[in-house]
Amino acid sequence: MKRTTTTPPHTPDPRRWKALSILALADFVVILDATIVNIALPSIGRSLHASTSSLSWVVTAYILAFGGLLLLGGRLADLFGRRRMFIGGLAVFGIASLAGGLSTSIESLIAFRALQGAGAAALAPAARALVTTLFAEGPERNKALGIWAAVAGSGTVVGLILGGVLTSGLGWEWVLFVNVPVVLAAGLLAPRLIDESRAETTDRSTDVPGALLVSGGLVAALYALTQAGDAGWGSTQTLGLLAAAGALLALFAGVESRTRSPLVPPAMLRLGAVRGANAAMVLMSAAMVGMFFVLTLYQQQVQGYSAIQAGLAQVPLGVVLIGLAGAAGPLVERFGVKPTLLAGLTLFAAGIAWLAQITAQGSYLTEVLGPSVVIGAGLALAFVALTVASASGVDEANHGTAGGLINMTQQIGGAIGLAVTTAVTTAGTHGVADASALTDGFRSALLVSAGIAAAAILAATIALPGAERRPRLRPRPQVAADA
């Protein structure tokens, strides 16, 4: 029997902090899976007799499905139930992880990685929407989002470390098996700790044309960017796909302006905080992913690190990120979103610029550790501020959509950053074996990442409004529907 209740906004759920722990952990494995497989690729290739081009699809398939379906996943969560989509996404993600680890061919592994991405696209925006639903906007939500960002933001770094440890100790299959107990525990606990919530509306229709257009456009754009290094930036494939992506996204904008139930409500996009947060997230993610890519290559090709050593070298950065992100919520409350974000992005850009001073003879302690600490501090402040801003002023009915949007821009930014830094690195190191020449190429790529981070500062300064100008949509009462 279905029961519908209305929960006053000022009545906090006593289970909310326990719920936050499983929501953050679930989002952590989603972020983790974008990087944990990378270090296992050589082992996967040997085990499944896969070519280099086939191995790239183990990563690409996940990115395409995840990034392409995020907006749809967020909107479906708002319309049909955030807890329902969270648990359903967990189930798909867990089954795909188990099946992927049991794969005996590269083709089946790629298919299950795509299914993993689809599950992640359902659970990630739903999880984030549940956090913003459980915690009222203000100091408590900022604190919760600080913890959320600390856990989720560390996923990229932990993925680099855990991927090497699991692959070396237990085999490549365990970079996928490790997800299963996490999602199983989260799926069992969710019904006990989280009430169902969804948008208060009688119109549950889904914008199918809009969903197809935006998913197609994003998949085309992401594929073009992830394959540009091999196909060439001026190739017919890259330019054709980018043109197709632009056309599909333009059609999507036209459809959204006319449909009764748009996938992305125009009122949400009129919020300066939402626009500014997503603009800054694209650029920050591009700089971050590019920086990690180049640093890993430098440590393995110049400094002679093993995969595990390269992963462990990121521990100080991860520790600073996790430790400071947990305390960043009160900083946002005291100083505001924009000052905190600008401080974080400035530290981040400065840290990458410092890292770009690496030399072929330099050591980890003298040339990498210091910049890593500064970068970790900057990312901690920036991640929390962006997470708060991306939901600031958003009607509760659209929390899932806002979560899907900020996750989508993060994925797009990462794909752009990887494509750009790969092109710069390849141009600077192609056919070069000398350590000094390799380092010159890596320095150039890091300076490009620093420039992108500086562009994020500019975007945030221009696009993100101050507190006094922040628009606000009228809040709606929470509606819980327990099946």
How many residues are recorded in the chain?
A: 483
The token pair that represents 125 in the structure block: 């925006």
The token pair that represents 290 in the structure block: 């590019």
pLDDT value of position 202: 56
Write down the pTM of the prediction. 0.82
CATH tag, 15-195: 1.20.1250.20
pLDDT value of position 205: 62
CA 209, 122, 107: angle at the middle one, nearest 5? 90
Give the C-alpha separation, 329 to 343, whole Å.
14
Give the C-alpha separation, 450 to 349, whole Å.
5
Mean local confidence (pLDDT), 393-407: 80
> To the nearest whole percent, how much of the chain has pLDDT over 90?
33
Note whether 15-195 and 271-469 share their fold: yes
User: Tell me: the pLDDT tens digits for 55-72?
Assistant: 778 887 888 888 888 888
Mean local confidence (pLDDT), 342-353: 97
User: Tell me: the pLDDT tens digits for 277-323?
Assistant: 999 999 999 999 889 888 988 988 898 887 778 778 888 988 898 88
Give the C-alpha separation, 300 to 32, whole Å.
21
- Where are the chain's structural domains? 15-195, 208-264, 271-469
In the predicted structure, residue 468 carries a pLDDT above the cut 70: no
CATH tag, 271-469: 1.20.1250.20
Give the C-alpha separation, 12 to 92, whole Å.
31
- With residues binned 3-state (H G I as helix, E B as strand, rest as coil), the percentages for the chain, rounded to 5, are 75, 0, 20
The H or E element spanning position 202 is none
pLDDT value of position 29: 87
Looking at this protein, which amino acid is placed at residue 479?
Answer: V
pLDDT value of position 255: 81
Taking a C-beta distance cutoff of 8 angstroms, is the pair 410, 283 a contact? Answer: no
The H or E element spanning position 312 is helix 307-312
- Of 95, 223, 296, residue with least CA distance to 103: 95
pLDDT value of position 53: 66
User: Tell me: the pLDDT tens digits for 120-132?
Assistant: 999 988 998 888 8
Taking a C-beta distance cutoff of 8 angstroms, is the pair 109, 103 a contact? Answer: yes
User: Tell me: the pLDDT tens digits for 81-106?
Assistant: 889 999 999 999 999 999 999 999 99
Over the chain, what is the mean pLDDT?
84
Looking at this protein, which amino acid is placed at residue 410?
Answer: Q
- Residue 5: strand pairing partners: 480
User: Tell me: the pLDDT tens digits for 224-267?
Assistant: 887 887 788 889 999 999 999 999 989 988 887 777 777 777 77
Mean local confidence (pLDDT), 36-52: 83
